[in-house]
């Protein structure tokens, strides 16, 4: 029997060996190769997989390989106790204490949040299955053989790919005569599946729903995680050499369907799960080595109910946004970096009536809507050198090109991922011609937004800015001891003062940082437009706002979380409002226990 050498005690594996009765080992291929043609008796240094493959070719009938187990695992197996695939290790440092442990994959991978009392900082610890030296060798052999054995399949879901790889790995282990205990098998398969259909070393962080950003600053620097609860924290993940980090960045580019090289060392791309990737290669543009930042994408996007739950907006503000979007008021969501502009925009766009035609234009895919009549369009980089006159490479499609094409598609709603340059002129021209448009913009207040619009590189006339109906100002603020996001105000663009040539604004809602509440000014020009369009009285308008508030309160009470379910109820209100309101009033009248179990 071919045996991998170990200093530990052997245990029973599928009934082959028991107790201390270990059969005499045959000559091992992992130690040396016997004399061959032309080697004149010299030992040949080969890799593990090469040595094992050479040994298998010499055997007419493959014999089973025994994987030795560590003493601790052997003791558990002998006593009949079940051993965990991934035990959570004890903290060895006295100045570090455990805050919480989160499971990312059942019984297999975990995240532990620790707190360092000496450095006064939180630590993000990714915990994966431990591997013995023998198990590491099996992982290496399986991965090398799977690369040669895997064929192209039509599987689209991750579940199908995992099932296919597990079947292939089972067949390879059987052919090579390697038999593993159930625990060792799950550990080995975890790393094989992680590297083939997962995100390699980042699998744990990418599986954690609380992670917003993953940032690698270079070789030898710990990867930093932006956690929804704990903010920016250092992790135990680190790339220890340049070659490993460069290969990983190239691999990230490849799974995004993009190319990165020394000639083009910077990359913006969208990952298979929709996350946003920015990466650099080598030390030419980032001196610490290759770097990357991944901005996570949620499969189930935040809904208006989530924003109310997080206190980003109040329920009354969300009802205001609902009415504004339904009746075609154009808006810009303004704020600083990582203030949650795109999240707020995506959540509030669920209020668009389902039959309306929507066209979105982005550099990297971030918007996610449940509407069927929606064309999501993306920019494309060109090929070859840039034209000296146009400044564009052959085949390049930028946001300006997509926006011009969108105007010919007769959309009722146009969304632009972020306004930065020449496309702003087309967006505001579309607003002026009656197209309802939404976008995000980097500015801290209304005046800063106007100044940026009027100067290079946008150069927008002030009269055209008045085509905008409202500006939503959002920021990342500190409430108590925690950093969170708040809509600081919703400002309506009323018009242009003919005497001073200043833009007149009305602050419909403002945030009070003293007590973390939102205040309504008592007057809204958008509400006035809606009343005129529907021939409503102020009492009718107040009644309509109250109905929207009740619907939002009802959805929170019955525990609706999925964005498609929220969109379904919004659509139901547009189609048969009276029937829905009866259901809402019944749900709100029920006690909390009964209401929580109800679903529309």
**CB-based contact 33:43 (threshold 8 Å):** yes
- Encoded tokens for 208: 């954690």
Q: List the domain boundaries for the chain.
A: 304-383+394-522
Tell me what the mean pLDDT of segment 217-228 comes to. 94
Q: What is the pLDDT of residue 82?
A: 54
Residue 301 has pLDDT above 80, yes or no: yes
Residue 16 has pLDDT above 50, yes or no: no
538: alpha, beta or left? (left if phi > 0; alpha if psi -120 to 50) = alpha
Tell me what the mean pLDDT of segment 404-429 comes to. 87
Q: What is the pLDDT of residue 45?
A: 54
Residue 578 has pLDDT above 80, yes or no: yes
Enter the pTM of the model: 0.74
Mean pLDDT of the chain: 84
Q: What is the pLDDT of residue 150?
A: 80
CATH class of residue range 304-383+394-522: alpha beta
Q: What is the pLDDT of residue 46?
A: 56
Tell me what the mean pLDDT of segment 438-450 comes to. 93
Nearest C-alpha neighbor of 260 from the set 238, 237, 292, 217: 292
Task: Give me the residue label for tokens 């190239």.
Answer: 250
Tell me what the mean pLDDT of segment 561-566 comes to. 90
Task: Give me the residue label for tokens 């990297």.
Answer: 364
Nearest C-alpha neighbor of 508 from the set 534, 548, 469: 469
Q: Which residues of 320-337 are buried (b: 16+ CB within 10 A; e: fewer)?
A: bbbbbbbebbbbbbbbee
**CB-based contact 350:571 (threshold 8 Å):** no
DSSP, collapsed to helix, strand or coil, labels residue 170 as: helix
Q: How far is CA 363 from CA 194, 267, 270, 359, in A?
A: 29, 12, 9, 14
Tell me what the mean pLDDT of segment 325-351 comes to. 93
Q: Which helix (H) or strand (E) holds 137?
A: helix 133-149
Nearest C-alpha neighbor of 330 from the set 441, 409, 474: 441
Q: How confident is the model at residue 50 (pLDDT cuts 50, 70, 90)?
A: low
Q: What is the pLDDT of residue 51?
A: 55
Neighbours of 578 (CB within 10 A): 7
Question: How do residues 151-199 score in pLDDT, each as one tens digit?
Answer: 877 767 888 888 999 999 999 989 888 888 889 999 999 999 999 999 9
Nearest C-alpha neighbor of 2 from the set 132, 171, 134: 134
Alpha-helix residue ranges (DSSP H) falling in 177-231: 182-197, 203-207
Residue 496 has pLDDT above 80, yes or no: yes
CA 396, 399, 400, 405 torsion: positive or negative? positive
Q: Which one-letter DSSP state was computed for residue 582?
A: H
- Encoded tokens for 342: 């795109």
Question: How do residues 459-480 score in pLDDT, each as one tens digit?
Answer: 898 889 999 999 999 999 988 8
Q: Which one-letter DSSP state was computed for residue 85?
A: S
């Amino acid at each position: 029997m071919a045996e991998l050498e170990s200093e530990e005690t052997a245990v029973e594996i599928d009934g082959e060996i028991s107790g201390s009765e270990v059969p005499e080992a045959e000559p091992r291929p992992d130690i040396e190769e016997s004399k061959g043609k032309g080697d004149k008796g010299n030992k040949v240094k080969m890799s593990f997989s090469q040595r094992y493959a050479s040994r298998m070719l010499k055997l007419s009938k493959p014999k089973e390989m025994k994987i030795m187990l560590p003493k601790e695992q052997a003791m558990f197996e002998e006593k009949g106790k079940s051993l965990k695939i991934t035990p959570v290790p004890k903290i060895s440092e006295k100045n570090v204490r455990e805050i919480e442990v989160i499971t990312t994959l059942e019984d297999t991978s975990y995240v532990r949040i620790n707190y360092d009392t000496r450095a006064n900082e939180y630590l993000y610890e990714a915990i994966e299955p431990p591997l013995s030296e023998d198990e590491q060798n099996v992982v290496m052999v399986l991965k090398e053989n799977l690369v040669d054995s895997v064929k192209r399949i039509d599987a689209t879901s991750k579940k199908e790919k995992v099932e296919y790889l597990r079947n292939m790995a089972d067949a390879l282990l059987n052919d090579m005569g390697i038999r593993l205990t159930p625990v060792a098998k799950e550990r080995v398969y975890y790393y094989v599946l992680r590297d083939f259909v997962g995100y390699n070393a980042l699998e744990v962080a990418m599986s954690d729903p609380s992670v917003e950003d993953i940032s690698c600053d270079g070789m030898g620097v710990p990867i930093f995680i932006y956690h929804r609860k704990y903010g920016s924290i250092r992790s135990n993940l680190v790339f220890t050499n340049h070659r490993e980090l460069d290969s990983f960045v190239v691999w990230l580019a490849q799974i995004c369907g993009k190319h990165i090289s020394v000639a083009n060392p910077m990359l913006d791309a969208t990952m298979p799960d929709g996350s946003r990737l920015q990466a650099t290669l080598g030390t030419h543009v980032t001196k610490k080595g290759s770097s990357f930042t991944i901005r996570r994408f949620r499969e189930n996007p935040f809904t208006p109910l989530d924003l109310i739950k997080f206190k980003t907006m109040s329920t009354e503000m969300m009802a205001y946004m609902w009415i504004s979007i339904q009746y075609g008021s154009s808006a810009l969501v303004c704020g600083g970096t990582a203030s949650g502009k795109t999240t707020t925009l995506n959540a509030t766009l669920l209020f668009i009536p389902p039959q309306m035609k929507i066209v979105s234009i982005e550099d990297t895919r971030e918007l996610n809507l449940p509407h069927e009549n929606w064309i999501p369009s993306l920019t494309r980089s060109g090929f070859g050198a840039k034209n000296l006159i146009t400044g564009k490479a052959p085949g390049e499609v930028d946001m300006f090109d997509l926006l011009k094409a969108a105007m010919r598609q007769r959309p009722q709603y146009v969304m632009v991922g972020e306004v930065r340059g020449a496309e702003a002129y087309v967006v505001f021209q579309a607003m002026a011609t009656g197209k309802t448009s939404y976008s995000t913009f980097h500015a801290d207040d209304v005046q800063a937004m106007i100044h940026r619009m009027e100067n290079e590189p946008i150069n927008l006339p002030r009269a055209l800015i008045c085509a905008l109906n409202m500006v939503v100002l959002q920021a990342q603020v500190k409430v108590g001891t925690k950093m969170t996001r708040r809509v600081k105000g919703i400002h309506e663009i009323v018009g242009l003062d003919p005497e001073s040539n200043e833009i007149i604004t009305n602050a419909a809602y403002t945030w009070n940082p003293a007590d973390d509440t939102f205040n309504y000014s008592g007057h809204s020009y958008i509400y006035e437009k809606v009343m005129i369009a529907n021939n409503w009285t102020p009492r009718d308008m107040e009644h309509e706002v109250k109905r929207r508030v009740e619907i939002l309160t009802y959805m929170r009470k019955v525990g609706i979380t999925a964005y498609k379910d929220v969109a379904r109820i919004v659509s139901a209100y547009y189609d048969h409002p009276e029937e829905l309101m009866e259901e809402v009033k019944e749900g709100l009248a029920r006690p909390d226990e009964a209401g929580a179990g109800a679903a529309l």
